[in-house]
Amino acid sequence: SDYFQEPPRHPSLIVNSKEPFNAEPSRSALISSYVTPVDLFYKRNHGPIPVVDDIQRYRVSIRGLVEKPLDLSLDDIKELPKHVIAATLQCAGNRRNQMSKVKTVRGVGWDVSAVGNGIWGGARLSDVLELVGISKLTSTTTLGGRHVEFVSVDACKDENGGPYKASIPLIQATTCNAEVILVYEMNGEPLNRDHGYPLRVIVPGVIGARSVKWLDSINIIAEECQGFFMQKDYKVFPPTVNWENINWSTRRPQMDFPVQSVICSLEDINTVDSGKISVHGYAVTGGGRGIERVDVSFNGGKTWTEASRYQKTGKPYVADDPSSDKWAWVLFTAEADVSENIEIVVKAVDIAANVQPENVEFIWNLRGILNNSWHRVLVQVKR
């Protein structure tokens, strides 16, 4: 097996696949803190965890359409100004399990915890690109359709044993506001092997698949990356497309994730005593848009109440407030009295007034990605 050098993992993780290692925390563990502890953070891999043991010889090479190609050591990267952001990473396959109940889909069977909120420290990609002569003030017109491609050191089956790779538009990389980071620190500790040691990309607000771990090289290319995970995966097709009639080239690679919310203090089916029940969960949206509202229903969606929202404890969350973490999830809580069996539902609204779809049937897609339908749980009262 190629899996003889895997790092140790927390025993409480729910393992969806051992080789490659794919695991998520329990719902209750997920929302027990605003910042997700590293050992409980979901782990999503397409192959074995690579071993980078000679850090003195480790280099990130920057090549392609640049005036002066460059190789950077980890120390070179650490010498650039350190930028730290709170950002939620979410796998496009989060909540796939529920989608596969409608009709079979392909992919790892995730519950609702293929998501986590980390504090990421590293160098801004825009600062790194300046070292090869790409200015932060370049306009879209000058950059054309150029992309920045991130290539990993790992090897995956889907790339025929080649490295995992992905790209983002160059304009997103050079815009400081987009806050794309080459990360060497997670939650204030050196990045560990599972999450991309020694260096990974974090593209906040975008599906996890573009945040390449174990970075080997950065290429400036004329158009988007042609790798498997850009062209033959992580695209959203309408429900009419199946494995017989699929034409991958008709759709673009998914980037931003949509508005999402999930109840984490309850399982799908619960038995409780009659009386007060309080629900907790997370809401998050793509593109740094922020969460405007979280609505909770204690009667299957007939009537709704607005949940209270917070990030750091003790302070109500306000979308767009400069002191809010714009790339991070919002935790919510709402309370009600229950005396009969009910369905509790949550849906969120982001600041662009994007809403979640009511039913998973209408967003079903063969890869089972981006399930952001209203999240529903059943509560039965003990008699």
Residues 57-96 that bind Mo ion (CB under 5 A): 91
We find the least distance from the C-beta atom of residue 91 to Mo ion, in angstroms, to be 3
We find the least distance from the C-beta atom of residue 196 to Mo ion, in angstroms, to be 13
Q: Which is nearer to Mo ion, 47 or 208 (CB)?
A: 208
Q: Does 35 bind ligand MTE (CB under 6 A)?
A: no
Q: Does 216 bind ligand MTE (CB under 6 A)?
A: no
Q: Which is nearer to ligand MTE, 89 or 279 (CB)?
A: 89
d(CA 211, CA 116): 13
Q: Between 62 and 91, how does the x/- string for binding to ligand MTE read (CB under 6 A)?
A: ---------------------------x-x
Strands 305-306 and 308-310: unpaired
Q: Between 190 and 219, how does the x/- string for binding to Mo ion read (CB under 5 A)?
A: ------------------xx----------
Q: Which of 34, 41, 120, 374 binds ligand MTE (CB under 6 A)?
A: 41
We find the least distance from the C-beta atom of residue 292 to Mo ion, in angstroms, to be 26
Q: Which amino acid is at 116?
A: G
Q: Which of 164, 329, 332, 374 binds ligand MTE (CB under 6 A)?
A: 164
| From ligand MTE, Mo ion, none, interface partner of 29 (C-beta below 5 to 8 A by class) | none
| From ligand MTE, Mo ion, none, interface partner of 41 (C-beta below 5 to 8 A by class) | ligand MTE
* Joined tokens for residue 349: 């609204």
Q: Does 46 bind ligand MTE (CB under 6 A)?
A: yes
We find the least distance from the C-beta atom of residue 115 to ligand MTE, in angstroms, to be 9
Q: Does 365 bind ligand MTE (CB under 6 A)?
A: no
| From Mo ion, ligand MTE, none, interface partner of 280 (C-beta below 5 to 8 A by class) | none
Q: Does 228 bind ligand MTE (CB under 6 A)?
A: no
- Closest CA relative to residue 273, chosen from 338, 343, 345: 338
Chain contacts with Mo ion (rule: CB under 5 A): 44, 91, 208-209
- Where do contacts with ligand MTE occur on this chain (CB under 6 A)? 41-46, 89, 91, 152, 154, 164, 195, 208-209, 211-214
